[in-house]
Amino acid sequence: MPGAPPEGQPVPADGALPDGASTRVGVAPFGIYIHVPFCATRCGYCDFNTYTAAELGGGPRESYVDLAIGEIRLARRVLGAASLPVSTVFVGGGTPTLLAPGELGAILAAVDGEFGLAPGAEVTTEANPESVDQRALAGLRQAGFTRVSFGMQSAVPHVLATLDRVHTPDRPARAAKWARAEGFGQVSLDLIYGTPGESDEDWRRSVEAALAAEPTHISAYALIVETGTRLAAQIRRGQIAEPDDDAMADRYLAADDLLTAAGLTWYEISNWAADPAARCRHNLAYWTGGDWWGIGPGAHSHVAGTRWWNVRHPRDYAARLAAGVSPGQAREVLTEAERRTEQIMLATRLAGGCPAALLPESGRAAAERAVADGLAEPAAWRRRRVVVLTRRGRLLADAVIRDLTG
C-alpha cells in the first residue's frame, strides 16, 4: 500500500457504512484481505506497511491474532446479518508466515465462523521462502489455505544481495515444490526485474528458475524505487545505479516470451497464469469492482461504493480495537465519474480489456489512436469494441490509460 492515502472523511466509531450503503452489501462478490504487518528484516526496496521486531518493541505482534479476529467480528457487526459468503481470502504482508500455521488457521477459522467460506473459496497466503519449510506448508494446507504466493524476486545471488533478500537463490523453488507436494493446487512466485546490476542473462536465469519450479502463476514486477527506502538513499548517494527504463522494457518482453513459451498466459499486465483457474481470483475482484474488507493496520477496504483505510501503525490499531472503536482512519465515497475513471484504469490493464461503453467520447477517440499506433488490438476494438493492449501497449500502459480516461 505505498503512497499516502487521500485525507477522506472520518469513519464513525462503530465503523457503520454511510446511509443507504447497506442495501448494496452482498451485491458484488465478497473477499477478505488480512494484512500481517511484520517482517524479520526490511528489504531495502520495500515501503509496505510492515515492521521488524526491533521497530515494534513487542506488543501488537504477540496479540495480533486476537486483534485480527476482533476486526473480523467488527466487520460482521457492521455488515449486518445478511448472508455474505466469502469467495476469496488473501493474507498478505509483511510476512504472514512469521505467524505459525495454527495462528493463520485461527484467523481463517474466524472468517469462516463469522461469514462462512463460499464453496470452492480461494484462500491465499503470501509466504517468504525462508520463513516456511515443508511442515509449515503442510500445516497451512491443513488449516484450509488453497493457494500460496512466494516472494522469490530473483535466482541470482548478486541481485538478491542488492535487494537485501535473506534467502538462498534456490530456496523459493524448493518451497514451491514442497507446496505442491503438500497439496496446494495453486502456487505463485513473485519476481522483480530491473534491479540495478541485473543483466539480461541474470533476468533470463531468474525466469527460467521460476518456471523450473512449475508454479501455476507468476507475477513479475518492475522494481520501483520508493521514496524513503534504503534503496532510494543508496541511489541518491551514487552507491547504486538508477534502474534503466529501456532495460525494464526489454526485461518485460523477455519475461513475456519465456512465460508464454512455457504455457503461462498474461491476464493482467504483471501477472501470468497456467490456465484461467490459476488466475488470482482475489486480485481479479479488486480489479473488477468486487467488495472486500481489509483487516489489519493500514489495510484498505471497499464495500458497496465506500472505500476506507485503517490507521497504519500496529500500536494505534491495537489501541482502537481495545477501546472498541473502528480502526478506520478515514473514508471516501466515490462519485460516479471517479468510479468510471477507476474502472477504465483497472480494466485496461487486464487481458479482457476495457469496453468502449466505459469510455468518455474523448476516450473512444484515444482508443482509435491506440489501435492506429499499434498499442491496442485492432480486432478486439473493431469487432467487440474493447480496448485490449498489445505487447507494446502493455509497455506504455500508463500513457494509454491517461488518454483513455480523457
Q: What does the binding site for ligand SAM look like in residue numbers (CB under 6 A)?
A: 45-46, 48, 92-93, 95, 126, 128, 151, 153, 190, 192, 221, 223-224, 226
Strand partners, 51: 38
128 vs 348 by CB, closer to ligand SAM = 128
Output 39 or 74, the one with its CB closest to ligand SAM: 39
Q: What radius of gyration, in Å, describes the C-alpha atoms of the chain?
A: 21
- Min CB(356)–ligand SAM separation in Å: 32
Residue 127 binds to ligand SF4 (criterion: CB under 6 A): no
Interface pattern 87-116 for ligand SF4 (x via CB under 6 A): ------xxx---------------------
Please tell me the distance from the alpha carbon of residue 213 to that of residue 368, in angstroms, as a whole number.
41
Q: What is the dihedral of CA 174, 180, 182, 186, to 10 degrees?
A: 120
Spatial separation of the C-alpha atoms in residues 401 and 406, rounded to whole Å:
9
CA distance linking residue 378 with residue 367, whole number of Å? 10
By CB under 6 A, tell whether 50 contacts ligand SF4: yes
Q: Which CB, 176 or 404, lies closer to ligand SAM?
A: 176
Tell which one of 1, 48, 85, 340 touches ligand SF4 (CB under 6 A): 48
* Half-sphere exposure of residue 142: CA atoms within 13 angstroms, side-chain side: 10
Rule CB under 6 A: is residue 49 a binding residue for ligand SF4? no
Cβ-count burial 162-199 (b if 16+ within 10 Å, e if not):
bbebbbebebbbbbbbbbbebebebbbbbbbbbbbebe
Q: Which of 29, 31, 60, 151 binds ligand SF4 (CB under 6 A)?
A: 151
Q: Where are the alpha helices (DSSP H) in 144-292?
A: 157-162, 171-181, 200-212, 230-236, 245-261, 281-287
What lies within 8 Å, CB to CB, of 80 at 6+ separation is 22, 25
Residue closer to ligand SAM (CB basis): 28 or 46: 46
Nearest distance, CB of residue 194 and ligand SAM, angstroms = 9
Q: Is 149 in the site for ligand SF4 (CB under 6 A)?
A: no
Residue from 17, 28, 34, 43 touching ligand SF4 (CB under 6 A): that is: 43
Instruction: Quickly tell me which residue has 508466515 as its cell.
Output: 97
Span interacting with ligand SF4, options 45-53, 54-62, 233-241, 301-309, rule CB under 6 A: 45-53
CA 377, chain centre distance (Å): 27
Nearer to ligand SAM by Cβ, of 128 and 343: the residue is 128
Beta carbons within 10 angstroms of residue 382's beta carbon? 10
Other CB atoms within 10 Å distance of the CB of residue 307? 19
CB atoms closer than 10 angstroms to residue 81: 7
Whole-angstrom distance, CA of residue 67 vs CA of residue 60: 8
CB of 47 to ligand SAM, least distance (A): 7
Q: Which does 88 bind (CB under 5 to 8 A by kind): ligand SF4, ligand SAM, none?
A: none
With CB under 6 A, what is the number of residues at the site for ligand SF4? 11
Q: Which does 42 bind (CB under 5 to 8 A by kind): ligand SF4, ligand SAM, none?
A: ligand SF4
Question: Residue from 128, 206, 301, 326 that binds ligand SF4 (CB under 6 A)?
Answer: 128
195 sits near ligand SF4 (criterion: CB under 6 A): no
CB of residue 48 vs ligand SF4: minimum separation in angstroms? 5
Peptide bond into 94 cis (omega under 30): yes
Q: How far is the CB of 150 from ligand SF4 (least distance, A)?
A: 11
The one of ligand SAM, ligand SF4, none whose footprint includes residue 223, by CB under 5 to 8 A per kind, is ligand SAM
Binding site for ligand SF4 (CB under 6 A): 39, 42-43, 46, 48, 50, 93-95, 128, 151
